[in-house]
Amino acid sequence: MDIISNSFYFKKARFGLIWYLKKFAKLDDSSVILLPELICNSLTEILEMSGFHLSYYKLDSKLNPLIDSINTKLSSMPNIKVIVYVNYFGIPPEIDSLKKKCEERNILLVEDNSHGFGGSSRGVKLGAVGDISISSPRKLYSQAIGGILSLNIVSAQANINKGFIGSAHSFNIDYQKIPVTNKLLHKYRIINSLKNKIRLIQLSFSDQNSPYSFREKKTKLIEFEPAKSLPENYLDWSTIIESRLEGWDIANKFIKSIGLEPLFIKDMQGLCPWAFPAICKDKNQRNKIIQYCYANSLSAFSWPCLPDTQISESAPAFQLWEKLICIPLNKVSIYSMQKINLKINH
């Protein structure tokens, strides 16, 4: 598999983004970061805590950036210095026009690849498309390193070389040797099944109607520095890709068997998806299906935990949250889906 150089490891991917933006991106107090309307509050919250001004652009029905919306923002906000796009669920959006726009205006294009680490599209690794990118291997395998910042353009690399002071250094991402704390756990169904049962018990007490229910605890200390050393265990990421693509196919059958519409219908070859998204009729149907999944040991979930402004001001983002159901693709979930599919077919 490919090797990507000029990367730094962090406890969480968003810590790497803050580290780069605050120390090396040459932003001033008036600079604005433009993000998609469908975004997790865990990212926006930490950006705001770090003193950045945020604004949001619209997406189409397949979560591609709407260039007209971005152009409108650029016309009204000349201080936009950074634009973020997301590989939602590990599926790369159409960004050719956006990438060209950023190059013309000297805007830093950030690829949020938190959902798609290890995937490839059109012969290019996800995480190697934006000027810089952040990835979250741990979202795809719970024992993997938490976050990665990759610098994909010469100017970003030069900024680091000029301004970096400290003992941490960059690493090459070798997808055959991804740092993990324990490379064996994903093979042990009993351990993972027990963890899944505990999680399902916790989830059963959550209010599925509230967009605030699943928010992470606030980050208290903003100390974001790269890892100085790595775990001694490694994992060939191709095993994770293979498992998750198997999960995608099984989830696709499950979703269709209960009469839901997949959000994406596309060739998944080369990708490494985080979860399988589907569209329900409304929030009530979504919640009923989530409860059905819980009863069958499948921890389906709604997504994302939107920022406050998007809950109160962005009707499209909130309406999508009400209808969106996500099916996890880890090994325990694959086993649960196989059992559900057998029930449905018999």
**Top-confidence residue, 236 or 229:** 236
Average pLDDT, integer, range 226-237: 85
Q: Which of 166-170, 183-187, 217-221 has the lowest mean pLDDT?
A: 183-187
* pLDDT tens sequence across 177-206: 898 886 555 555 566 667 767 777 777 777
pTM equals 0.92
Judged against a pLDDT cut of 90, whether residue 238 lies above it is answered with yes
Domain spanning 3-180, CATH architecture: 3-Layer(aba) Sandwich (3.40)
Confidence of residue 165 (pLDDT cuts 50, 70, 90): very low
Judged against a pLDDT cut of 60, whether residue 133 lies above it is answered with yes
Which fold is adopted by the domain 186-209+226-345?
Aspartate Aminotransferase, domain 1 (3.90.1150)
* pLDDT tens sequence across 74-92: 999 999 999 999 999 999 9
Domain boundaries, the chain: 3-180, 186-209+226-345
Average pLDDT, integer, range 55-81: 97
Distance CA 114, CA 276 (A): 15
